[in-house]
Amino acid sequence: MYEGVIIEKLFTKDLRFPTSLNSDGSDAMHTHPDYSCAYVILETNTGQKAHGMTFTLGRGTEVVICAIKALENLIIGQKVQDIYNNFGDFWRKLTSDNQLRWIGPEKGVMHLATAAIVNALWDLWARLEGKPVWKLLVDMSPEQLTSVIDFRYITDVITKDEAIKILKEKEDNKKAREFDLIKNGYPAYTTQVGWLGYSSEKVKSLCKKYLDQGFTAFKVKVGQNLDEDKKRCAMVRENIGSSNVLMVDANQVWCVDEAIDWMKSLAEYKPLWIEEPTSPDDILGHAKIAQALKQYGIGVATGEMCCNRVMFKQFLQAGALEFCQIDSARVGGINEILSIYLMAEKLKVKVCPHAGGVGLCEMVQHLQFWDYVSLSGTKEGKYIEYVDQQHEHFKTPVVIKSAAYMPPTDPGYSSEMFPSTMEKYEFPKGTYWQELANNK
Ligand SMILES: C[C@H](O)[C@@H](O)[C@@H](O)[C@H](O)C(=O)O
Ligand SMILES: [Mg+2]
């Protein structure tokens, strides 16, 4: 298959959207984010193009672009057949270059760059197969699926054979679940009501807007000022009612004991989870918080900045999280994310993907759909995050119906942006940024 198809070119784009102007996406730690991405376009000798990205917040995107360029040599000239026949091996080559790995390994900017490239490789594979990524994954046999994963460093929790066994056990009702997914979609929760920089009036009207659309779960940002948090949580609770779900997200601002005390004060508003209460690297800290908040019915959620499968493994092993928030633009792309899903399934932790960023909703839905059809087999108590931003730049934006993500049918990873978007928002030469510079 794909005989003679070679990856010939790799283009990068530094795309930045001025979201900080309206506080869209703001939280206690990232008060003025400009939603951005390091975007990759691959082109084959047959003229097939594929698109991938990793999410950034503005400044620093140029550093990720530089890291993508450092990996370029490992991609250009590769036969696609060789990549997809042994994708696990190829993924290891990409993450283990014996000189480059020194500036990772498998973390930080290098791993963001890996994610952008690997996302484009999956978009390419799905386009060559004429399927959306979720369907490509669903149609793989357990053996094929596990062949894309590098199990190094995680075999103490899950081996390839165990993973195959778990996937085989779920094969019986796959068709019925796929049918259900196509008909009913997958539940979403919204963060759009709760960006920290939004006024109370705006939060109130957004609660109404999303309630009217059928949303039943709402996330708000906390962590800068306890009195303000109490007021905001009380207001959102009052607006969404007692039977709907509230989540809160502190984006890493607290120390461990501070997180526990702060959350005890917010317990009366009955949040389902506290997200990123402290440093994303503090496994035992999260475990302590999880233990202390159990009696209040508050779970710990984290993962949007967890750097790789090894860290996820330890979070899962330590009982440090109840909601595992994989992110489609972090860790080393789909290959590594699949291993995290498999570990979460084995250790019985719910995966609720993170999607607050550019293109994250578009990509992450594919993974959760696969999880439902092929792995966990359930949507029970799980959601995909939804933010209502920047979808207009995508050729195949997410489709939300009655607060549920509906599975796409177009081939690929839903990651392609319009050329007009690139012309306008490429930094610094896009028309938007040029005009801004000239007006200054
Ligand atoms: C800066 C970003 O908007 C974050 O606040 C966002 O990803 C957030 O943590 C989320 O959970 O959606
Ligand atoms: Mg978050």
Cβ of 34 below 6 Å from ligand 1:
no
Q: In what order do the strands lie in the sheet with 7-16?
A: 7-16, 36-44, 49-56
Those residues whose C-beta lies under 8 Å from the C-beta of residue 20, and which sit 6 or more positions away, are 26, 32, 33, 34, 58
Taking Cα atoms as reference points, which of 265, 258, 321 lies closest to residue 296?
Answer: 265
Ligand nearest to the CA of 275: 2
Measured distance CA(264)–CA(29) in Å, rounded: 21
Question: Over 80: is that where the pLDDT of 440 sits?
Answer: no
Q: In this prediction, what percent of the chain has a pLDDT beyond 70?
A: 100
> Residue 182's CB: how many other CB atoms inside 10 A?
13
Which tens digits make up the pLDDT trace of 262-279? 999 999 999 999 999 999
Token pair for 342: 């498999």
Q: How high is the pLDDT of residue 237?
A: 98
What pTM value is reported for the model? 0.98
Active site residues: 221, 354
Return mean pLDDT, the chain: 97
Q: How high is the pLDDT of residue 46?
A: 97
Q: In this prediction, what percent of the chain has a pLDDT beyond 90?
A: 99
CB 26 within 8 A of CB 202: no
DSSP sequence for 122-133:
HHHHHHHHTSBH
Cβ of 302 below 6 Å from ligand 1:
no
Measured at the CA of 298, the angle between CA 294 and CA 302, to 5 degrees, comes to 105
Ligand nearest to the CA of 58: 1
CB 337 within 8 A of CB 114: no
Q: Is the reported ipTM for this assembly greater than 0.85?
A: yes
Quote the ligand 2 centre to 81 CA distance (angstroms). Answer: 37
Which tens digits make up the pLDDT trace of 34-80? 999 999 999 999 999 999 999 999 999 999 999 999 999 999 999 99
Q: What is the average per-residue pLDDT within 238-251? A: 98
Measured distance CA(366)–CA(341) in Å, rounded: 13
CB 322 within 8 A of CB 350: yes
**Could you list which residues have their CB under 5 Å from ion ligand 2?**
249, 275
In the structure, what pLDDT confidence band is assigned to residue 2 with cuts at 50, 70 and 90?
confident
CB 28 within 8 A of CB 258: no
Question: Over 80: is that where the pLDDT of 427 sits?
Answer: yes
Q: Is the peptide bond before 105 cis (omega within 30 degrees of 0)?
A: yes
> Residue 40's CB: how many other CB atoms inside 10 A?
29
Which tens digits make up the pLDDT trace of 315-370? 999 999 999 999 999 999 999 999 999 999 999 999 999 999 999 999 999 999 99
Which tens digits make up the pLDDT trace of 137-173? 999 999 999 999 999 999 999 999 999 999 999 999 9
Taking Cα atoms as reference points, which of 334, 240, 430, 429 lies closest to residue 52?
Answer: 334
Of 190, 192, 196, 251, best ligand 1 pocket probe by most atoms within 8 Å of the beta carbon: 251
Question: Over 80: is that where the pLDDT of 131 sits?
Answer: yes
Which tens digits make up the pLDDT trace of 68-107? 999 999 999 999 999 999 999 999 999 999 999 999 999 9
In the structure, what pLDDT confidence band is assigned to residue 1 with cuts at 50, 70 and 90?
confident
Quote the ligand 2 centre to 249 CA distance (angstroms). Answer: 6
Measured distance CA(246)–CA(402) in Å, rounded: 18
